[in-house]
Amino acid sequence: MSIPKLSVSNPVLANLLMIAIVLAGLYAWVVLPRELTPEISLHTATITTLYPGASPEEVEQLITVPIEEAIEGISKVDLIVSASSEGRSVITVQFEDISDREFDKQFQNLRSEVNRVNDLPEEILEEPQVMELDVSTGFPMLTAVVGGEISEGLMRDIAEDLKDEILEIPNIASVRIAGMRDREIWVEVNPDQLKAYKLPIDQVINALKAHNLNLPAGTMEVGRTEYLVRTMGEFRSPTEIEETIVRVGQMGTPLRLRDVATVSDTYEKPRTLSHINGAPSISLTVQKKTEGNTIKLVKQIRDLVEARQRNVPMGVKISAVNDYSVILRERLGILQTNALFGLVLVVLLLYLFIGERNALFAALGIPVAFMATFLFLHLTGYTLSGVALFGLILVVGVVVDDAIIVVENVFRHLQEGKSPREAAVIGAEEVGLPVLAASLTTIAAFGPLMFMSGIPGQFMRIVPLVAILVLIASLLEVFMILPSHIAEWGKAQSKGQRRHAWFDYVRRRYMRILKRTIRWRYPVVIGVLVFAGLTAYDTQQIKNEYIEHSRHGDSEWLGKSAIMGALRLYLDFINMFMFLL
């Protein structure tokens, strides 16, 4: 039994299949993460080391060169680029075009080799940081800003609480803070007092170290209970620091820290500055994980910011700025609008040429094919990016080609007097192989694009993938669902019934032009060649003029040249058309 005959014999199965695809596709459409660009694996790692106060030459000799020598044995490395600047070493390692699994393996090897480097200066702030360069988390989604006429301490507390609440949202990768300084206790020793008491500064330092300790003191058993004993000696306030005994005199008089130094509760020197409306603030820049939906996450963060704003003291202002989802929604909206207009135009043209009933049968394949594609993207972990939507727009007209061929052939059998059920089976079976061949040739044209290498290949791979998925889903709809719909809802036709009287006039004009073209075939071929030559000549002339004027910065001519060039090509086409008439 053929697939069209199975479809006609089981209309309930065909309709349930269509409903299941549409419902599952709608769910996938709702939950699919929206992104402007698809996920790209750069297969690149960076090694960052901070060495404050060192010159670029010292950074290169003491940090960059030892690390480069340690990692030169890593396999699958394509390029290593290092930059040594004042107090900072950055080494970028670009791997070859390998699989994600192989990259993860080599990345771990890279991290292990860097950790084995043990001859780095002790003055570096921390161990070298080995990080993967990830584009998907490189673009901040949103920045939450805490400001207002409040103290820096209160601003800091609110910002830290807000950061913790943002990190509790699922699929949030990190929150980077700018404008917030860590608390510091400054002990400023008075040199004159040190001289007066004949006190070396090392003794002050040692006294502070000795009194600012929490030391374990063993355990103590009381009955069946064992207690851990510790001496709690860390400072809890600046006042305790001031009361620290630095030295005891011969008469037993203690010399306290406040006698020779001033203790200040302050903050470190700012490394980053954040201002909003000219006033100091603290900025929290939010980045998401790869699987996160930017639009939904931004909405959750905005709701959180609004909720926090209602519960903060007077004078505190929490706002959300640098909203990346605005650009994302705008550009995705443009693509979605273009896709919708394309769908409407396709349905309109189908109605004009094959009638409203047949247009409905053919147009039903568009949502079914699109929903099946969304379902596949959801199941395989892809995102609905602007590039994926471009692929959908690219095939929105091609997806109905198979349905048009089947519907037109079925309609021919209906006009010959066959019943809708018989016409649906015979008409679909007759054009089955041509329809399959046409779709396979289109799939074969898109297929090689899936095997492009490098970053361009990763960026464009979703376009052929989406196009191929839509075409395969279209074939499923044409042979499994469409015959059932025609058999159930089709209308019998008579041989003499005419669909479009206006098309008869177009056909007569076309036949007249075609007969003249065949009769004067040699002049027509020569005319086509002349038209092609004129077009190539005009194109080259426009190109030369454009280059010449662009060198001189003639912006007014550049604006007019596009119009004049298009007009010249249009006139060449009109001349060719008039020649055929």
Region for 33 from its dihedrals, namely left if φ exceeds 0, alpha if ψ lies in -120 to 50, beta otherwise: beta
Please state whether beta strands 245-248 and 254-256 pair in parallel, antiparallel, or not at all (unpaired): antiparallel
Q: 404 falls in which pLDDT band (50, 70, 90)?
A: confident
- Predicted confidence (pLDDT) at residue 273 exceeds the cutoff of 70: yes
Q: Average the pLDDT over 417-441 and give the result.
A: 87
In the chain, the amino acid numbered 139 is: F
3-state secondary structure of 37: coil
Of residues 76, 24, 71, the one with CA closest to residue 49 = 71
CA-nearest of 277, 307, 321 to 158 is 307
Short-list 247, 250, 270, 272, CA closest to 259: 247
**Whole-number Cα distances in Å, 53 to 57, 86, 234:** 12, 7, 31
pLDDT at 572 over 60: no
Q: Is 64 exposed, middle or buried (0-12, 13-18, 19+ CB in 10 A)?
A: buried
* DSSP SS3 for 221: strand
Nearest to 412 by CA among 345, 358, 340: 358
| Higher local confidence (pLDDT), 319 or 269 | 319
Q: Choose the weakest-confidence range: 231-235, 335-339, 468-472, 574-578.
A: 574-578
Taking the C-alpha atoms of residue 354 and residue 356, their distance in angstroms, rounded to an integer, is 7
132, β-bridge pairs: 45
Tell me: pLDDT of 574 over 60: no
Say what the pLDDT of residue 27 is: 92
- How many CB atoms within 10 Å of residue 281? 22
Q: Counting every residue, how long is the chain? A: 581
The residues pairing with 226 across neighbouring beta strands, listed in sequence order, are: 221
Q: Which candidate, 135, 136, 137, 116, places its Cα nearest to that of 127?
A: 116
The H-assigned helical ranges of 148-289 are: 152-167, 191-197, 201-211, 238-242
Which residue did the predictor score with more confidence, 223 or 489?
489
- 175-195 burial, b at 16+ Cβ within 10 Å, e below that, comes to bebbbbeeeeeebeeeeeebe
176 with 287: CB under 8 angstroms?
yes
Query: 403: pLDDT confidence band, cut at 50, 70 and 90?
Result: confident
Q: In this structure, which amino acid lies at residue 95?
A: F
pLDDT tens for each residue of 69-125: 888 888 888 888 888 888 888 989 888 878 778 888 888 888 888 888 888 887 777
The answer to whether residues 339 and 392 touch, using CB atoms and an 8 Å cutoff, is yes
* Banded model confidence at residue 573, pLDDT cuts 50, 70, 90: low
Residue pLDDT, tens place only, 74-84: 888 888 888 88
Type of residue numbered 103 = F
How does DSSP classify residue 62? I
Q: Is the pLDDT of residue 24 over 90?
A: yes
* Distance, CA of 364 to CA of 483 (rounded, Å): 12
In contact, 382 and 28? CB cutoff 8 Å: no
Mean pLDDT of 208-237: 75
Q: Residue 227: what residue type?
A: Y
Question: CA 538 → CA 352, 504, 532, 562, distances in Å?
Answer: 37, 37, 10, 12
What is the DSSP code (8-state) at residue 72? T
Say what percent of the chain tops pLDDT 90. 2
As a 3-state breakdown, the chain gives helix, strand, coil percent values, each rounded to 5, of 60, 20, 25
Rounded to whole angstroms, the Cα distance separating 189 from 170 reads 49
In order of 70, 143, 175, 179, the CA distances from 161 in angstroms are: 41, 15, 12, 15
Task: Find, among 116, 136, 129, the residue nearest to 46 by Cα.
Answer: 129
Confidence at 552, pLDDT banded by 50, 70, 90: low
Please check the confidence at residue 434 and state whether its pLDDT lies above 80.
yes
Predicted pLDDT of residue 560 = 46
Amino acid at 286: V
Q: Which of 97-106, 234-243, 385-394, 569-578 bottoms out in mean pLDDT, i.e. has the lowest? A: 569-578
* pLDDT band per the 50, 70, 90 thresholds, residue 558: very low
Dist CA 185 CA 261 (whole Å): 12
427 HSE (CA, 13 A, CB side):
31
Q: At 524, list the tokens.
A: 């027509």
Higher pLDDT: 153 or 216? It is 153
Instruction: Find, among 152, 151, 123, the residue nearest to 49 by Cα.
Output: 123
In the block, residue with structure tokens 């001031």: 242
8 Å CB contact between 273 and 291: no
pLDDT, residue 158, reads 87
Least confident interval from 282-291, 487-496, 530-539, 560-569: 560-569
Name the pLDDT band for 313 (thresholds 50, 70, 90).
confident
Residues 524, 520: Cα–Cα separation, whole Å: 6
Task: Read off the pLDDT band of 559 (50, 70, 90).
Answer: very low
- Asked if pLDDT for residue 183 goes beyond 70, the answer is yes
Spatial contact of 491 and 420, defined as CB atoms under 8 Å apart? yes
Q: Over the stretch 342-392, which tens digit does the pLDDT of each residue have? A: 778 777 877 777 777 778 888 888 888 888 988 988 888 887 877 887 788
pLDDT confidence band for 501 (50 / 70 / 90): low
Place of tokens 């590039």: 387
List 285's β-bridge partners, or say none: 143, 176
Residue 427 has pLDDT above 60, yes or no: yes
Q: Does the pTM exceed 0.85? A: no
pLDDT at 21: 92
Please work out, in degrees rounded to the nearest 5, the angle formed at the alpha carbon of residue 323 by the alpha carbons of 317 and 327. 155
Beta bridge partners of 92: 46, 81
Q: Look up tokens 């037109």; give the residue.
A: 408
Average pLDDT, the chain: 80
Which residue from 39, 97, 16 is spatially nearest to 380, judged by alpha carbons? 39
Alpha-carbon torsion (114, 117, 118, 124), positive or negative: negative
pLDDT tens-digit map of 136-159: 555 678 888 888 888 878 888 888
Distance CA 174, CA 500 (A): 62
* Of the listed ranges 97-111, 334-348, 444-458, the one predicted with least confidence: 334-348
Count CB-CB contacts under 10 A for residue 523. Answer: 12
| CA dist., res. 53 & res. 122, Å (int) | 13
Mean pLDDT value of segment 126-141: 74
What is the per-residue pLDDT for 103? 84
Q: Which residues contact 576 (CB under 8 A, 6 or more apart)?
A: 527, 528, 531
Confidence (pLDDT) at 138: 54
